[in-house]
């Protein structure tokens, strides 16, 4: 039985959608000891998020940014939370639509993602900040 937990900070990313699969794997080499399990990935923030999507073509990640900015716009007339910058309130909503927690199967010592799947850090703020992640590996 393995219960392993690691907390780390990503480098700061600019606003947009960014692949972080390698950053996650690098932080938890103990994956290689687990034959069956799950890796829980948790982001400790409310204006960024995590998702799993296409891991190759950068235009997919650019289109995510374009579409999310239309689906959840800045400066909507009905926003009451105006005390912070215009990217703050839509950043909160985007974060909940994408989510801040993922769980990925672990099989034979590896993250068991699909061929085209990668983990994205979705940075919804203009000013780059480092973002904190906690990984919890549960397996045998």
* Residues at the contact surface with a copy of itself, assessed by CB under 8 A: 1, 3-5, 7, 36-38, 40, 42-46, 51-54, 57, 59-60, 62-64, 66-68, 70-72, 76, 78-81, 83, 89, 92-93, 95-105, 107, 112-117, 120, 132, 134, 136, 138-140
Q: How far is the CB of 23 from a copy of itself (least distance, A)?
A: 17
CA–CA distance, 30 with 106 (Å, rounded to integer): 11
Minimal distance, residue 97 CB to a copy of itself, in Å: 6
Q: Of 33 and 113, which has the nearer Cβ to a copy of itself?
A: 113
Instruction: Report CA torsion sign: 77, 81, 87, 90.
Output: negative
For residue 53, the number of C-alpha atoms closer than 13 Å in the C-beta half-sphere is: 18
In whole angstroms, the minimum distance from the beta carbon of 26 to a copy of itself comes to 19
Is 76 strand, coil or helix? Answer: coil
H-helix or E-strand containing 54?
strand 48-54
């Amino acid at each position: 039985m393995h219960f392993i937990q690691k907390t780390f900070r990503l480098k700061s990313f600019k606003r947009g959608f960014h692949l972080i699969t390698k950053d996650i794997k690098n932080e938890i080499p103990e994956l290689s000891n687990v034959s069956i399990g799950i890796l829980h990935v948790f982001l400790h923030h409310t204006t960024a998020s995590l998702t799993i999507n296409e891991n190759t073509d950068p235009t997919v990640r650019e289109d995510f940014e374009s579409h999310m900015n239309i689906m959840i716009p800045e400066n909507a007339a009905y926003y009451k939370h105006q005390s912070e910058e215009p990217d703050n309130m839509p950043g909160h909503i985007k974060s909940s639509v994408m989510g801040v927690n993922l769980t990925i199967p672990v099989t034979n010592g590896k993250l068991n993602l699909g061929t085209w799947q990668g983990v994205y850090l979705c940075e919804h703020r203009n000013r780059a900040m480092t973002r904190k992640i906690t990984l919890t590996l549960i397996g045998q």
